[in-house]
Structure 1
Amino acid sequence: MPITAEQLEGIATGFHGIAEQHFTANGRVVPALWFIPDAGTARLVEMPQGVIDREQTAQIARTDRPSAILLAGESWMGSVTIPVEAAKKLPIDDIPRPSQQPDRREVISTFGVGRAHDGSSLHVMRATLILRTVFGTQLVPFDLNPDAEREDDYAAFLASLLPGPAQPKRRR
């Protein structure tokens, strides 16, 4: 079930636009996974409580056999710097989170993975910085490192759920 890079780009851009509109209207983005089949109806799985577990995601992918899977959500980006010795003494729940850092950045992000006609993996990412100022909230699109989505563990997990290319039949 292949998809072209252009198709994946277009789907990701549209999905990201919907997430931005939802944020503008509601002040937040509900995380959602979108399973795009080669033919038929796509499945949108909203996750108001956060990302569903990997087994549920894998089960949907096994059932739908998607050509592409996209994830949109809102998150905090920030660097947590704490000395190693101090971190060792803290319970995991007390280690500072990116959302608690003074230099944090809130973003709407969408990434997608797909299977190309030649069997290779396709990746796409969209990101919008959320700037909250005394003048209101502004949404500013920005680019990330083009290979960032390939380094992401969850993106790699989603890519692993895509059906592989058709295997040639063996002759007897």
Structure 2
Amino acid sequence: MADIPVTAQQLEEIATGFHGQAEKHFAANGRVIPALWFIPDTGPARLVTMPNGVVDREQTAQIARTEQPAAILLAGESWLGSVTIPAEAAKQLPLGDIPRPSEQPERREVISTFGVGRRPDGGLLHVARATLVLRTVFGAQLVPFGLDPDAEREDDYAASLASLLPGGKKQRRRR
């Protein structure tokens, strides 16, 4: 399997455009449908949406084997919040009844895009975009913010995507 390279500038531009589409979708629909975008060296890109928010890892791996992408990007929406119930009370609840961060009134909502690509020298490129969603009585405001450029390198899902790129090593399962 030959390496198919992408430049840092190309990956930055692709991520910026993909993230912009996620923001537009949010503005129009009030949510982001998670999606993976497989970018080939040549030819059309392949977009795979996940309307239920579930990533089918086997489907993703099969698409990557078929498409031989130069880069793979993931866009979606996340909720960060604190769930504060006593541990003893949580033990008594069925898993489905435990409060989720997305249900908390003080949650923070973020639109995020992560991407990985194979550099011409065989190394990896990483890119991330993030937009904070501030919900107010006047509607939602989208506020872009920066991420630590090294933070996305430690993301397990980004590592999993990177392992699907041509020339990449298969990720070992954690025990």
Q: TM-score, normalised by structure 2?
A: 0.85
Q: How far apart, in 2, do the equivalents of 1:26 and 1:2 lie?
A: 35
> C-alpha displacement at 1:51, in angstroms?
3.0
> C-alpha displacement at 1:153, in angstroms?
1.8
Q: How far apart, in 1, do the equivalents of 2:140 and 2:46 lie?
A: 31
> C-alpha displacement at 1:150, in angstroms?
2.0
The equivalent position to 2:99 in structure 1, one of 96, 99, 109, is 96
* Percent identical: 79
Name 1:129's counterpart in structure 2: 132
Q: How far apart, in 2, do the equivalents of 1:113 and 1:83 lie?
A: 39
Name 1:69's counterpart in structure 2: 72
Q: How far apart, in 2, do the equivalents of 1:86 and 1:122 lie?
A: 44
Asked if 1:50 corresponds to 2:53, the answer is yes
> C-alpha displacement at 1:78, in angstroms?
2.6
Q: What SS is found at the alignment partner of 2:133?
A: strand
Q: Please, which moves more after superposition, 15-24 or 84-93?
A: 84-93
What is the root-mean-square deviation in Å for CA atoms of aligned residues? 1.9
* Equivalenced residues, count: 165
Q: How far apart, in 2, do the equivalents of 1:45 and 1:97 lie?
A: 26
Aligned ranges 1:12-91 → 2 under 5 Å: 12-80=15-83, 87-88=90-91, 90-91=93-94
List gaps (5 residues or longer) in structure 1.
166-172
> C-alpha displacement at 1:89, in angstroms?
5.0
Q: How far apart, in 1, do the equivalents of 2:108 and 2:23 lie?
A: 16
Q: 1:146 to 1:90 in 2, by over 3 A?
A: farther
> C-alpha displacement at 1:151, in angstroms?
2.3
Q: How far apart, in 2, do the equivalents of 1:32 and 1:20 lie?
A: 13
Q: 1:121 to 1:87 in 2, by over 3 A?
A: farther
Q: How far apart, in 2, do the equivalents of 1:88 and 1:3 lie?
A: 48
Q: TM-score, normalised by structure 1?
A: 0.86
